[in-house]
Structure 1
Amino acid sequence: MYVANEKIKLPEDPDTIVWKYLDLSKFLDLLLSQKLFMSRSDKFEDQYEGTFSEPTFEEIKKLSQHNPEFLKFYKQRREKVVISSWHINEYESFAMWQIFTQNNEGLAIQSTVGRLQAALQADTTYQQSIGEVNYIDYKKEYIPFDDAFFPFLFKRKSFIYEREIRIICDASARVNPVNEGLNISININDLIEKIYIHPKSENWYKKLVIELLKRLDFDFLIEKSDLESDILI
C-alpha cells in the first residue's frame, strides 16, 4: 500500500509521466502475476546504492563511537530495502531503450506518478513510498538521515541521466530473508497507461506483442514509438 511521506521529494503534479523499460519476459511476468518485482537495494550495479556521502558518513561514524548498533543498522538496512526504478520524462528516451533492452526488442510502460500511487493500493502486505532521486557530489554534499529512506533517494551526479523516481519498500518485518527482491501486488490497469514497443523491433515482434496482449485479454493502448519514423529519404 502506498503511504505518503512528507519528507520525501515527489513531483507535485500527479500527471507527471514516468516510464519503465523492460524486456518481454519481465513484461509478461508482470502481466501474468499482477505483481511488481522490487529489487533488493544492495543488488543494484551501483556499489554506492543505499550508502551515504562522505560528509554524512563522517558524522555517522562520530555518532556511532559509543553506539556501534547505529552504524550496523544502516549497513544491514541495504539488505531489507527493495526498490522499483522508473524514469521521469515527458517523452521516450533513446538512452533508456539502449540501456534496459537488448537486440532491438523490449517494451516501455508509460505511467504517471498518480497511477503508481493508485496501483500500489492493491498490496496490503507492505507499505511503499515513492520518491524522486537527488543527484549530488558524494565527496562534498550532505545526505540527511532524519528519514531512513533518504540514503536510497540520493545518487552520484554521474547517474543524473537516469532522472529516476523510485518506489521504495522496507521489508524488515518480513520473517524470511529477502533474497534478490520482492514481488508486490499491483493493480495492473491502474499502473499502465500506454505501451510502446521498441522502435527498432521487427514487424514480427510487434505482432507477437499485440497478439500476446490480445490472448491475455488486455486492451492497453499501444502507441507507435516517436523514435520510429515512416519518412525515408
Structure 2
Amino acid sequence: MTINFNIGKYDNNQKVWRYLDFTKFISLMDSEKLFLARADSFTDDPFEGSYPIKNIESRKSIPGITSDLLIELERVNKKFKEYVYINCWHANDYESAAMWNLYLKSNEGLTVQTSLGRLARSIKNDRDYILHIHEIKYIDYSKDGFNDNNVMEAFCHKRKSFEHEREIRLIRTLLQYSEANDILNDPKNIIVQGGLAIDVDLDILVENIFIAPNAPGWFIDLVKAVLIRYDLIYNTSLFSRVRKSDLRFDPIF
C-alpha cells in the first residue's frame, strides 16, 4: 500500500478528531477497521465530487471538444463518485463544540483523537492500493476553480459554507479515472455498496478518547467497560486514554 500525503498547512503532529456515536465506536473497536463511505452517499452536500462553474466553462475551450463529449464527461464525473470512498476527520488543536453538536444526535457519544502521523502509521500495510490523505480546501464554487488535471481535486474541495469542518480525508478509489468506459459500464462489477473498510492498529491510532460533554455517568462507565475488555484481549492500554471532555469542566468566576 502507498499513502499519498497532501496535508497542506498541517504537519504530522496535527491533532485530528473523529466524532462517533456509541454504535460506530463499537464497530471500530470490534472490527479494528476504519469505514470509508462511498462518495455518492454524502447526501448533506450535493456538490460532493462536482466542479465549480469556472472549471465547467473552461471545458468548452478544450481543442476538439464537442457537445456530445461534454455530456459524456459529465456522465463520467457523476458516475465516478461510486468508485470513490472517503473517511473524514476534523483537524483542530482542541475539541470543537460545534462538531459535538453536528455529529452526535444524543449525549451518548465520544471522539477519537489522534495525529496525522499516528493515523498514517496505524493503517495496516497488507494490501496493494493507494490511499490518499488530503486536506480539504474551501472555495466559492461560483467564482473560484481548481486544477482539474487530477480528478482527486474534485473530492478535495468543498464550498465555503463547510469551512467549519476543517476536514482531513482518507480517500481510496477503485478505478482510475482514465478507465472511463469501465466507470460508466462497470464490467468488473467492483462497486462496493455503501462503503469499504481498511484495517488499522487501534493501539497506534487512538491517542485519546474524549467522552461527550453531557454524557451521563452510566455511559462513561459503559465505554470504560468496553475498553477494559478490549485491553485484556489484545494487550493494549486504551482504557488509560479515556478523558473527560474539556467542555465538561466547571468555570471559575
TM-score by length of 1: 0.91
Distance 1:27 1:125 in 2: 27
Deviation readout 1:100-120 (Å, 9 max, x if unpaired): 112211010001111111122
Distance 2:9 2:202 in 1: 22
Distance 1:82 1:209 in 2: 29
Distance 1:12 1:201 in 2: 31
Is residue 4–residue 130 contact of structure 2 (8 Å, CA) maintained in 1?
A: no
Deviation readout 1:61-101 (Å, 9 max, x if unpaired): 55452645444332221110010010000000001111111
State how 1:80-119 maps to structure 2 within 5 Å.
80-119=83-122
Q: Mean Cα displacement is larger for which, 68-77 or 80-89? A: 68-77
RMSD: 2.0
Distance 1:102 1:75 in 2: 30
Is residue 120–residue 128 contact of structure 1 (8 Å, CA) maintained in 2?
A: no
SS of 2:213 mapped into structure 1: coil
Between the aligned residues of both structures, percent identity stands at 37
TM-score by length of 2: 0.84
Task: Give the alignment partner of residue 196 of structure 2, picking from 162, 171, 182.
Answer: 182
Q: Which runs of 5+ in 2 are unaligned?
A: 177-187
Aligned to 2:129: 126
Q: For the structure 1 residues 186 and 59, does the alpha-carbon distance in structure 2 shift closer, same or farther, using more than 3 Å as the test?
A: same
Aligned to 1:198: 212
Q: Which has the larger radius of gyration?
A: 2
Is residue 2–residue 120 contact of structure 1 (8 Å, CA) maintained in 2?
A: no
SS of 1:21 mapped into structure 2: strand
Asked if 1:227 is matched to 2:247, the reply is yes
Aligned to 2:53: 54
Q: What is the aligned length?
A: 231
SS of 1:143 mapped into structure 2: coil
Task: Give the alignment partner of residue 22 of structure 2, picking from 16, 20, 24.
Answer: 24
Q: Which runs of 5+ in 1 are unaligned?
A: none
Distance 1:2 1:111 in 2: 20
